[in-house]
């Protein structure tokens, strides 16, 4: 291949989502999957064999000067330890969401990355997909007027009916807010800008939940975290957003995100996806109008935020899935839980910039410089 030498990355944590990251990497000429790491050696070998990489130990990749970046796809409780070790070894680091399970953890990682002069990125990167980029453009063009408020709903019955290991979703560092909230809050920040305060109410609706999926069907899960959280987010630019995340809802007609402007309402697609639909309805309209999605030059799947981070290292520009954004979202979530527990409004310490929108007209699988 001509051009710069590809960035060589190691995936740490070879669970279900790792295959999607590996597939995205395989489509990008400037990134190479060099190593796969997992406590289960067979899982690491399976992923490595499928994508032409090597199964290695975490210690090996940390000490390998030819590994440029670590992709941390471990469970949330391991995010701090793995990302910290990666940064201390001098590796650029990209983490699955959330950045940490406590605000202090995220702040420690951001400070460490800054001190070492290393790139630190974090999922979700769905806001780089055509659907959410189009929704951002609708707001930026002024198509709905001034944004005044928003609603966001992630309502479901929990993962115990389908996930092979659902207990992890009810442990510290998970629950509907920390598991799914990053998609919704990251999107809201991209659409409306940073927040200034959050208040919330929360509950554990059932102290135990039966597993309905194989291979642990019939076992009971001890619930450690709230399973229904209602948060009220105040944005620095003025809008107020209601966010409800729940594992206690059996059926609903409410989903995804709506943004209410002075001139129209914007219906935002599922922020856990990369596509549409994006719809607008103005006062007096009988029906919603579909907005044509912006053309996409990137694979519409997880991993494009990692790719943007590695591409940005070439020119030194800010990458879009920034640690400042991830830390702000983490503070919003942990702040909501504090607000619910203490019955008060929590003013936020952090802020961030909205990430630059992706420009149009790029060659396939490339980014702007």
Q: How many CB atoms lie within 10 A of CB 157?
A: 16
7-12 vs 195-203, strand pairing mode: unpaired
| Structural domains in the chain plus CATH codes | 7-126+300-322 (3.40.50.720), 130-290 (3.30.360.10)
Helical H segments across 102-174, by residue range: 103-116, 130-140
Q: Which two tokens stand for residue 51?
A: 């994508």
Per-residue pLDDT of the chain in tens (369 residues, 90 and over written 9): 345 689 999 999 999 899 999 999 999 999 999 999 999 999 999 999 999 999 999 999 999 999 999 999 999 999 999 999 999 999 999 999 999 999 999 999 999 999 999 999 999 999 999 999 999 999 999 999 999 999 999 999 999 999 988 999 999 999 999 999 999 999 999 999 999 999 999 999 999 999 999 999 999 999 999 999 999 999 999 999 999 999 999 999 988 999 999 999 999 999 999 999 999 999 999 999 999 999 999 999 999 999 999 999 988 999 999 999 999 999 999 999 999 999 999 999 999 999 999 999 999 999 998
Task: Give per-residue burial for 234-263: e unless 16+ CB within 10 Å, then b.
Answer: bbeeebebebbbbbbbeeeeeebbbbbbee
Q: Which helix (H) or strand (E) holds 54?
A: strand 54-55
Q: In whole angstroms, what is the distance from residue 46 CA to residue 262 CA? A: 53
CB atoms within 10 A of CB 152: 25
Please, which residues bridge with residue 246 across strands? 155, 228
Q: Is the dihedral of CA 193, 197, 201, 205 positive or negative?
A: positive
Assigned token pair, 140: 């930026």
CB 303 within 8 A of CB 20: yes
Distance spanning both ends of the chain, measured CA to CA: 20
**What does the block give as tokens for 11?**
């995936």
Q: 151: which residues sit within 8 A by CB, 6+ positions away? A: 241, 242, 254, 257, 258, 260
Nearest Cα to 97, choosing from 68, 126, 67, 118?
A: 126
């Amino acid at each position: 291949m001509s051009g710069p030498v590809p960035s060589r990355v190691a995936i740490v944590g070879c669970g279900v989502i790792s295959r999607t990251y590996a597939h995205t990497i395989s489509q990008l000429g400037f990134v190479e999957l060099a190593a796969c790491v997992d406590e289960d050696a067979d899982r690491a070998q399976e992923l490595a064999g499928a994508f032409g990489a090597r199964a290695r130990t975490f210690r090996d990749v940390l000490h390998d000067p030819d590994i440029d970046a670590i992709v941390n796809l471990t469970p949330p409780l391991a995010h701090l330890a793995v990302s910290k070790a990666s940064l201390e070894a001098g590796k650029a680091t990209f983490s699955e969401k959330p950045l940490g399970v406590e605000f202090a953890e995220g702040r420690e990682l951001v400070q460490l990355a800054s001190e070492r002069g290393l790139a630190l990125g974090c999922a979700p990167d769905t806001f780089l997909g055509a659907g959410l980029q189009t929704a951002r453009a609708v707001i930026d063009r002024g198509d709905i007027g001034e944004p005044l408020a928003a609603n966001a709903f992630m309502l479901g019955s929990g993962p115990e009916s389908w996930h092979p290991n659902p207990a992890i979703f009810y442990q510290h560092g998970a629950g509907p807010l920390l598991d799914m909230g990053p998609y919704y809050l990251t999107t809201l920040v991209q659409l409306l800008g940073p927040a200034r305060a959050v208040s919330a109410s929360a509950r554990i609706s059932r102290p135990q939940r039966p597993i309905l999926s194989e291979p642990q069907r019939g076992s009971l899960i001890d619930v450690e975290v709230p399973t229904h959280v209602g948060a009220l987010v105040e944005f620095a630019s003025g809008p107020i957003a209601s966010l409800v995340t729940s594992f206690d809802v059996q059926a609903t007609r409410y989903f995804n995100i709506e943004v209410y402007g002075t001139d129209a309402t914007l219906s935002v697609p599922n922020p856990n996806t990369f596509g549409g639909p994006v719809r607008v309805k103005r006062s007096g309209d009988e029906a919603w109008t579909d907005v044509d999605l912006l053309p996409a030059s990137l694979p519409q799947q997880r991993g494009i935020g990692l790719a943007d981070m590695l591409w940005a290292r070439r020119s030194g520009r800010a990458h879009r899935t920034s640690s400042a954004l991830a830390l702000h979202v983490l503070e919003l979530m942990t702040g909501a839980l504090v607000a619910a527990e203490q019955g008060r409004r929590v003013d936020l310490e952090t802020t961030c910039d909205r990430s630059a929108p992706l420009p149009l007209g790029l060659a396939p699988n490339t980014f702007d410089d």
